[in-house]
Amino acid sequence: MRFKAIILNTFIESLRDKILIVLLVVGFILMASSKFIKPLALGEEIKIIKDLSLSSINFISVLIAILIGGRLIYKEIEKRTIYLVLSKPIKRWEFILGKYLGQMLLLFLVIGILTIAFGIVLLLTGVPANFLILLPNLLLLFQLSIITSLAIFFSTFTTPLTASIFTFILYFIGHLTRDLKALAQISKSPIVKVIANFLYYTLPNLANFDIKGKVVHEIPISFFLIYLPIIYGILWTLGLLYFSFLIFEKKDF
């Protein structure tokens, strides 16, 4: 497991990145703001506090995945630190995998910290909650796995800014794929139908991972809504990492 050095290094790099601190602080502020919203909630305060906090966790961790993830590979190439790594007995696929796992370890930590903060908010506001409240965060982790793999994939051949923009666009479209399907069904134009169907079937459907609404409104969640997105997330991650390996393997430094 030589690539554990890559995991450790990626984790330390992100941990010492100022962006992380800034985004975590923004996350805390967003969650703390629910305390001030409570008087304006007109009886819906429990739902608003839960929804706002879960959305904050989602928003912050997605931003971290896109902003830090987009720089993961390119930065190593640009700053020539890649020479230090690939001149060692490390295979190129180990490097990509190490980068991915390091970033996921960080995101796991971020979700953990923000979830603890969420717990504190619930305690302070006296909002009741059970363990089901953690389910959106579990699926968020698998959604972040796809986003991180997308960012790594783009990062193997574009600049950090472009990789982040591409990843953000795909994240955005990924949450609208159901609308794309609906568009394909109602549209009378065959071109629109083909394009909408093509996008629906080729882009990751990230809306599958969003069960915040159901949890907040205490709608029963079927078992399939949990484990199918998990399998879906794993398959997309493996596919994207595989294509990242293929691109990276051919590169000269």
Partner 1 sequence: MAIIFCENLTKIYRSGFWKLKKVVAVNRLSLTINEGEIYGLLGPNGAGKTTTLKMVVGLAKPTSGKILIMGKEPKDSEIRKNIGFLPEQPYFYEYLKGYELVYLTAQMYGKEVSSKRIYEVLELVGMIEAKDMFLKNYSRGMLQRIGLACCLITEPKILILDEPMGGLDPIGRKEIRDLIIQLKKAGKTIIFSSHILSDAEMLCDRIGILIKGEKVKEGTISEIVGEEIYEYEIIFSNVGEVYLPEIKRLAKDLIRSGDKWMATCEEEGKREHLLSLIQNFGGRLHSLIPRRKSLEEYFFTFMKEKRDAL
Among 31-39, 82-90, 104-112, 169-177, the segment contacting partner 1 (CB under 8 A): 82-90
Q: Find the angle CA(93)-CA(19)-CA(69) to the nearest 5 degrees.
A: 20
Q: Of 9 and 53, which has the nearer Cβ to partner 1?
A: 9
Q: How far apart are CA 72 and CA 247, in angstroms?
A: 15
Nearer to partner 1, 55 or 162 (CB): 162
Return the residue of 13, 23, 99, 106 that touches partner 1, per CB under 8 A: 13
3-state secondary structure of 87: coil
Shortest Cβ distance from residue 228 to partner 1 (Å)?
37
CB of 242 to partner 1, least distance (A): 19
The correct pick among 83, 172, 198, 242 for binding partner 1 (CB under 8 A) is 83
The per-residue b/e assignment along 93-104, b for 16 or more CB within 10 angstroms, e otherwise, is bbbbbbbbbbbb
Closer residue to partner 1 (CB): 82 or 104: 82
Name which of residues 85 to 114 contact partner 1 (CB under 8 A): 85-91
Q: How many residues bind partner 1 (CB under 8 A)?
A: 26
**Exposure letters 39-74 (e unless 16+ CB within 10 A, then b):** eeeeeebbebbbbbbbbbbbebbbbbbbbbbbbbbb
C-alpha dihedral (123, 124, 129, 132), degrees to nearest 10: -80
Positive or negative torsion for Cα 99, 102, 54, 36: negative
CB distance 134 to 111 below 8 Å: no
Cβ at position 240, least distance to partner 1 in Å? 23
The pattern of x and - marking residues 14 through 33 that bind partner 1 according to CB under 8 A reads: --xx----------------
Structure tokens at 212: 């915040």
d(Cα 4, Cα 166) in Å, to the nearest integer? Answer: 28
Which residue number, 160 or 229, has a Cβ lying nearer to partner 1?
160
Stretch near partner 1 under the rule CB under 8 A, chosen from 1-9, 49-57, 167-175, 207-215: 1-9
* Contacts with partner 1, 143-182, as mask; x by CB under 8 A: ----------------------------------------
Angstrom CA distances, 116 to 53, 189, 193, stand at: 11, 50, 45
Q: Which is nearer to partner 1, 8 or 24 (by Cβ)?
A: 8
The answer to whether the beta carbons of residues 128 and 218 sit under 8 Å apart is: no
| 253 contacts partner 1 (rule: CB under 8 A) | yes
Q: Where do contacts with partner 1 occur on this chain (CB under 8 A)? A: 1-2, 4-6, 8-9, 12-13, 16-17, 79-91, 252-253
